[in-house]
Amino acid sequence: MTTKAAGPYNRDAMPAEDGALAGAIRRHEERLAREPGSLVFAQLADLYRKAGRSAEAIAVCREGLARYPHYTTARLILAKAYVSEGDLARARVEVETLLRESPRDVQCHRLAADVHRRQGAIDDAVRHLEAVVALDPGDRESASLLGLLRADAGAGRDGLGRVLADDTFATLAFGRLCLEQGLADEAVMVFTRILRRDPDDDEARGALESALRARSRRKG
């Protein structure tokens, strides 16, 4: 599902702490105007994305990639901008294109895992997280998330772990109860089990992202 594109960007509306970002955008815009064939378009697009101007980031990337179709950095930025816009289908196409060319690119596997998870394709997300962990053993966050998303995440645990392994309790209500009690990891496992049954369950997909955000806040 594609979200509504952001409206025209108003520099005057930017918070004071974003002044450096606004200045960087202005400098890159000026440079691209002077050198329209420059690869600086990718840097400008990434700055647009970071400023919340994902629709403009997409436009700049697509125009630049028409000239430099094999510029992988720009294609990765385009995929991230599509994610920001909520256009997961197009983001997935871009990431899959990148991985065909660079199957050992850790950043691409991380983004692919994110896109697949948001689409409810948990097993595909796990596959890409396994690639991340194999390529970058020091990525503890990906390894931790992989443990939660795997089908056997609750196996071998005591108490609540055994409950989570029972599909009887794989319900939105129980997952939300876990989240309300501060059990973000357990909520993730519940919503993951639901999505394995029905990847198109919009409520479960949204609940999973909420649980992951709560987990991230807890970890600080």
**Residue 36 belongs to domain with CATH number:** 1.25.40.10
Residue type, 38: S
Q: Tell me whether residue 9 is in a domain.
A: no
Q: How far is CA 161 from CA 47, 164, 171, 182, 189, in A?
A: 43, 5, 15, 15, 10
Q: Give the whole-angstrom CA distance, residue 57 versus residue 42.
A: 9
* Residue type (1 letter), 202: D
Q: How many domains does the chain have?
A: 3
pTM of the model: 0.83
Mean pLDDT of 116-125: 97
Q: For residues 82 and 110, state if they share a domain.
A: no
**Are 53 and 72 contained in the same domain?**
yes
Q: What is the DSSP string of 39-78?
A: THHHHHHHHHHHTT-HHHHHHHHHHHHHH-TT-HHHHHHH
CA dist 201 and 74 (Å) reads 32
CB-CB contact of 74 with 41 (8 Å): yes
pLDDT winner (highest mean) among 110-114, 160-164, 168-172, 215-219 = 110-114
pLDDT at 9: 32
Q: With a cut of 50, say whether residue 117 has pLDDT above it.
A: yes
pLDDT surpassing 60 at residue 10: no
Residue 70 within a domain: yes
pLDDT-derived band at 163, boundaries 50, 70, 90: low
Residue 124: which domain range? 103-150
pLDDT of 160 higher than 90: no
Q: Within a domain: residue 156? A: yes
Query: What does the pLDDT read at residue 17?
Result: 43
- State how far the Cα of 121 lies from the Cα of 199, in Å rounded to an integer: 6
Confidence (pLDDT) at 162: 66
Would residue 108 count as lying in a domain? yes
CB 115, CB 76: distance < 8 Å: no
Task: Pick the closest to residue 120 from 209, 186, 180 (CA basis).
Answer: 209
Q: How far apart are CA 61 and CA 7, in angstroms?
A: 18
- Indicate whether 132 and 75 sit together in one domain: no
The vertex-209 CA angle with 118 and 143, nearest 5°, equals 80
146 and 156 fall within a common domain: no
Q: Which residues contact 60 (CB under 8 A, 6 or more apart)?
A: 41, 44, 45, 48
pLDDT at 161 over 80: no
- 45 with 68, same domain? yes
- Per the prediction, the chain carries an average pLDDT of 88
The answer to the question of residue 12 being in a domain is: no
- Please report, for residues 110, 120, 169, 184, 212, the alpha-carbon distance to residue 218 in angstroms, rounded to integers and kept in the order given: 21, 23, 24, 9, 10
CB atoms within 10 A of CB 164: 25
| Residue 200 falls inside a structural domain | yes
| Residue 57 included in any domain | yes
Q: Domain check: are 86 and 43 in the same one? A: yes
**Looking at the domain assignment, is residue 2 inside a domain?**
no
Dihedral pair phi/psi, residue 65, rounded to 5°: -70, -20
Same domain for 143 and 159?
no
